[in-house]
Structure 1
Amino acid sequence: MARRLAALHVLLCLAEAKQMQRAAAVTKITPDSITAKTATSITFTGAADGDKVEFALDCTKVSTPGSTVAEGVAKITVEDEAEKLSLCLQEAGKNEVVAQNGVALAVVPPTDTGAIIGIAPTTITQGEATTISIKGAGPESKAIFIPAQEDCRQAIPTVSLDASGKGLFTISSAGGAYKLCYRAPGGSDSVEQNPDTGAISLQVIQATSTREDQVTSISPTVITSNVATTIAVIGAKSGDKASFVNSETSSCDQVTPEKDVGAGHASFTVSGAGTYVLCYTVKGASDSVQQKGISLTVKPPGVAQNMLGRWTSKNGNADCSGLSQVPYCSAAGVGECERSFTVMSGIGYKCFWHTGVWPPMCDVDMSTDERGMICQSNSCGGSPAMCW
């Protein structure tokens, strides 16, 4: 009898251990609070594709969970409000439905259309970061302003509001009337605010002039004449345009910026060596304003002072069998940069990815002899048998 009891005890312990192992399959959900009657995508950390999930007060009453996990995510809709619902999990290929220990979901009421009673200020300038006080907002609630003709149900509130209902907003799109889409604390919906006093409206004034400090920096600041180079423009907004002009022969009031830098960078080809200034126009403006403290040095192609040491150090031993010659490094593609080289005035340079700029560019380092270990045939590279 004692042996049977001991064996039974072992089986019960194994079953309990197995149950605990299953219960720990999902360790976290994001978000852990949603809005009732609102379909919400929830991430299930630890879940596998094909697992079925459902939230309930009692998982023993769930026979087959109603939602399936794909790539760690499932769309969940809960009809009723609840402070704490258990996660019921049915792992793919299994019949058991197991409550996941330590994982719970809160379900809050839908956001009221009259939750917000006003905003201040009611007018802001396009592209300028502005702190807006949203009266009636709860702490950790979220908001977004969208053009008046759009639908809040298609918008995702992204600006978190502090305990006093304030948030920092930047609207870079076109000027005009904007509506407020609001999400109550812990919610997952997006509701247009129309209190009894009238719909909440924000007027965005189209920028009509460009500031001298619109752009804070550029990268790189040195390029080669007639070589297409991607230049990052820090401070650029959607619809902004830029041009570079030689500071000795021209000025910004003589040109109309035409290169779109709304993505934060653009490819520029500048002809002629010298120092160039940046002429800039923000979206909606018709001016051309020189950016204070911004300059671009354009070098002529050919031998530079820091290349002269190469003439006495042609002792490289690079394996050029996998390298191909390109006119200049920026012409090499993503998959070719580190397998290509360029020759300048008889000196070979290996191309490499320069990650110090955005976007990263295929560049050449002329400051060290290591970059000069390139094979050459006659005078201009190509034969693996003749390395220097």
Structure 2
Amino acid sequence: MLDLTVPTRARASFDDLEAATADLPTPYAVVDVAALRTNAADLVRRAGGKPIRVASKSVRCRALMRSTLAMPGFQGVLAYTLPEALWLAREIDDVVVGYPTADTAAIRRLADDDLLASRVTLMIDSVEHLELIAAAAGASGPRIRICIELDASLRLASGRVHLGARRSPVHAPEQAAALARAVVAHPRCELVGVMAYEGQIAGMGDNQPGLSKHLVRAMQRRSVDELAERRAAAVAAVRSVAPLEFVNGGGTGSIETSAAEDAVTEVAAGSGLLAPHLFDHYTRFHPQPAAYFVLSVVRRPSPRHATVLGGGWIASGAAGKDRLPIPVWPRGLGLVPSEGAGEVQTPLTGAAAARLRIGDRVWFRHTKAGELCEHVDELVLVDDGSVVDAVATYRGEGKTFL
């Protein structure tokens, strides 16, 4: 297992990464272990002593999760589907499913297995979720661990303005308490946690180029203050109904502000380990890029262009330029605006394009961390100038959860 606690030198240069992986067939994905170690340590520092639950959707590689969880400061996993959680829980004893599930077959598997039921926590934000879980679980068996999701969005103008992800309908403390009472009243369920994800802070850079960053900063300051007060009240209201094992908050981009709240007992993070380019524009932290994918030049359509095979590894979210991968090595390359990153080919332009030849390689960064792993079977780990391992992604293990 990769040891993330050992002293490490500075992140590898592209010359080092290229030399170490020169014999690999493209496409392939590389993790710079030195950068990964630095990022993991920085996440722990930013959490200020509160444990970090690893967001699996931003990693999607069990080997990297094992190494991260072995590092002091990390504890438990925040999964994104119940089938994934059941798979992970065979070796990880604390897995929270970060999103509600309607997978009744998986719920039955959970309810029929004492070990899994003791390790996996389901997310709900309505009585309908509770009823679906209870119906699928059946009348007897181990109690199902339940976490309530509190909506963390900022609502202004009497709710007419909504800033943040549209997730839970549970926004007010009294709504959280009412749902807590419904859980406690159900004989098949046990309330153990509360979660709130402040996407408008965690997932939105406050240092984007242009004037918009000033609006983002003002919004985030207001949201931090509003959520701290409301989350504290909601947690107190739920705790008046039942004791809680944990209160989870935040994400890579909001660790400091989330961890500063007394009501929050743990924070969640995953993207900060690999630092995709979505996280390049924050004032609060500056992670080191740790993950790349590499494609080969296969065409020279003009003296000013070079075309690589593949490249259309587009990130989820609202369609836009910020969802596209970016070429980072050789320096001086850019996508062609009319074509972007294509399914089978990606033409590149810029000063460096004229120097590229058939067979040369171009290094890219993905917009998001875990989604890179949906395109490759393994991550090649490079440390101190050499390939030290190649570890399977979920795809490489034959798992496609979503």
Q: Point out the structure with max Rg over C-alpha.
A: 1
The higher relative CO (CA closer than 8 Å, separation ≥ 6) is in 2
User: Normalized per residue, which structure has more helix?
Assistant: 2
The verdict on a shared fold, with TM-score over 0.5 as the criterion, is no
